[in-house]
Structure 1
């Protein structure tokens, strides 16, 4: 066998690796869908539990905070207990939490069970990335990460569709009950497919670091998450929690270089490739994921679509991503991503620009086409950047690196969502009040924008308004969305700065060594 033929054989994705990828994708689907599927159920929670919007919003916030709390310890736990055992434990915890959520009789119970669910879900993604990186080896990781990217991109699209359909045909309990059969299949699948763990003695747990980082992240993200509710960073519960959280995180950063084995290994940022890729990913997540949550809101609040239809109208984005993601994954293994990602990012920017020009009756075909173009760009951006971040890591660094990447994703997504929500809310608050009208939910004066949004969900309200008022107010609301998308568009353009420093030359690897080496075991050392 020639050396070139051996290399070609080693580069192929064999059946054993694909089976392992299947386990990881199942876990990722459950974890990511549960972030978005709950969003469409919030009005139902308000009605069934007699709770305010601020209270039911905690069903999402609590899940996010528990994710942020558990992610930092995942790298250490993977070293200590082995990836297979920990991954199956995370699956079990997530599945049990889902079952308990379906039994909740009060909003307080549901929030508590969502915390439990998030503790399991928070470990699934970093562990899944570690498992796949180990299984594929550095030269095939691009194609494997493209597989993992499918649920990461389709989750925000499929979640609202699935949630809306389940609530319509059954009840809100089924958005959690559906996880039970998927979780059971994933557990059996993982037991059969993942190789047996052989963990070696691990370093001691960084208790001091954990007492700073996990509470710090939770407090900071709590403050960020409360921004849409308070509407200002000067609100006491917003700035105090953000300040204390940021202080704890900064203290951890200063402390983390002292112990030999810190909870989060920031020394990995000495790797230029990881640093540039992580910065690119963070800026991109803030811009795209934050604005991505507003697309369905536009369909609901301005165009008067149903929840299910709003989710379906996001499908072109997912179709575009599915078309380019396999191609981008293959290219990431063969072509430096610094040469491909800028073109994909340009597609996203082009699609995004359309949404900066929104009005109350923008042509749907134009908007759907723009979402499709953005999806094409998404498929060639997010996963190749993540691939670049992890490609040059080896051994125990893989678990540590995937933990870093997931924390940056979590923080970036939370900041992006809060930033876009605050900008949109502040613009909507500038709408004129209707003399003598009162908002039945808040008891405060009713604005034209609130009436217009309400009329889209309850057409009878439109009959009570003076002629032309609804149309004028809907244009105001659409303009507020357009202004918010201008901010997101500017952040997308800012992503080009770190992306310009991504590797543009192919990294050398010893060909014979790669071809002759045995398959990388899916364990942590």
Structure 2
């Protein structure tokens, strides 16, 4: 029996979008807001540097490895139910983290956050997909949702900076509780239940393979920050590739696949997934090193660092507002080709930062160009990635989009960190006697990371140009098959 999800009344759709955007914001900002809290948390809980790294890694590990399973659970169990349970679980985990009295308690809380985020995130995107099945409203809804995804990281830096400066590090986690309460109330009022019908049996072999494979990849890339030649790094990455290859083989043969291959083999959606991964790697990696530059080299406070990042978010929002109105006329190919080029130019501009650090001349122009480029990508990206997906697969397809961003971020962070470390060593070898050698080495490392991020972002342009070519009509229809020409 085909799925016939109840669609909210038109007047309620935008309220529901606000609820979904709030959930998206909470999940996205949690990655950066916790980074702001880590220095104080490390001192108070007596964490080692390794423990501090695990606070970030364990969340990415749980979130990234369980996303596809979370998407299928949302499809079969019910998207509204999954959204609410995910939100409640995320809030409880955040409260546990905020009340942590030792390292173990904080790490357990972060793992739980990742588990429930893996259920919450694909449910939210799937609900958005079926609530706005087509037309110009779909474009605007996905534009808003995408802008939250792009700007949420910077918002997290600002909010985390304010909380760390005027309250305490615990509130960087506890702030999720009131946000979740508002979102849960909104879900109960505006959300209707929808679920997949027909074949709803879980693919146990596929689930085991993909969870283990994604976990190996995420963990492997996190270990790569300490050296790509390490035996555990190579072993984990190789194991992840083997397990995911076995997963694809299983999915091609079972009658109830966890991730139907029809979701990813479509040329347009496949291209969108690649662009999503490259954007995630460049954005997450680029922002991380920019904050390091603000705080360590320029001596900015956490709050001032967040404020210094805001122009990028503001430009993203303006670009989204403009582009969402003209996208039906110009189609997605142009912005998804030009966007990566502009984003790469902005990142490359940031590679010219200096120890003296003139924000208005060396940073702000790069942030503005980067924001325009990211806005051009975010408006059509998730719309294109989910175009033509059957309602039965909405949850798992949504999870695949988020998974590409998560894996891309892990790859980018590991790659940039390796280049950053290499650049520092090279600089110190040539300038050991310089009185500013320490800060000069750091800036050299940040510049190398920005150049690499720009190169990855630039790769997205030809992918978009040659693969992402749906017609304007297909874009407006949304839920129908995507034109391949």
Q: Provide the TM-score with structure 1 as the length reference.
A: 0.84
Change (3 A) 1:255 1:195: same
Q: What is the match of residue 63 of structure 2?
A: 67
Shift of 1:198: 6.2
Contact 1:42–1:56 under 8 Å retained in 2: yes
* Residue in structure 2 matching 1:337, options 315, 320, 332: 332
Number of residues of Structure 1 aligned to a counterpart in Structure 2:
469
- Mapped pair 1:487 → 2:463: no
Q: What is the match of residue 204 of structure 2?
A: 207
Map 1:116-515 to 2 at 5 A. Answer: 116-139=112-135, 140-197=137-194, 200=197, 202-228=199-225, 230=226, 232-366=227-361, 367-432=363-428, 469-504=434-469, 506-508=471-473
Contact 1:336–1:503 under 8 Å retained in 2: no
Contact 2:144–2:379 under 8 Å retained in 1: no
CA distance in 2, matches of 1:326, 1:243: 43
Change (3 A) 1:256 1:312: same
Q: What is the match of residue 3 of structure 2?
A: none
Q: What is the match of residue 455 of structure 1?
A: none
Please say which structure displays the higher CA radius of gyration. Answer: 1
Q: What is the match of residue 35 of structure 2?
A: 39
Q: What is the match of residue 5 of structure 2?
A: none
Which structure has greater helix proportion?
2
Change (3 A) 1:202 1:504: closer
Shift of 1:411: 0.6
Q: What is the match of residue 8 of structure 1?
A: none
Contact 1:93–1:117 under 8 Å retained in 2: yes
| Superimposed CA distance per residue, residues 213-257 of structure 1 (whole angstroms, 9 cap, x where no aligned partner) | 1021112211111222x2x12223322222222221121122210
Shift of 1:509: 5.9
Q: What is the match of residue 444 of structure 1?
A: none
Q: What is the match of residue 465 of structure 1?
A: none
- Superposition RMSD in Å: 2.5
Match of 2:219, SS?
helix
CA distance in 2, matches of 1:183, 1:485: 34
CA distance in 2, matches of 1:134, 1:198: 10
Match of 1:261, SS?
coil
| Superimposed CA distance per residue, residues 400-443 of structure 1 (whole angstroms, 9 cap, x where no aligned partner) | 32122111111111101111111102222345489xxxxxxxxx
CA distance in 2, matches of 1:477, 1:188: 46
Q: Which runs of 4+ in 1 moved over 6 A?
A: none
Segment drifting more, 284-293 vs 94-103 = 284-293
CA distance in 2, matches of 1:171, 1:476: 32
Contact 2:38–2:169 under 8 Å retained in 1: no
Shift of 1:295: 1.0
Q: What is the match of residue 463 of structure 1?
A: none
Q: What is the match of residue 51 of structure 1?
A: 47
CA distance in 2, matches of 1:500, 1:201: 37
Shift of 1:116: 0.9
Shift of 1:341: 2.3
| Unaligned stretches of 5+ residues in structure 2 | 1-8, 481-485
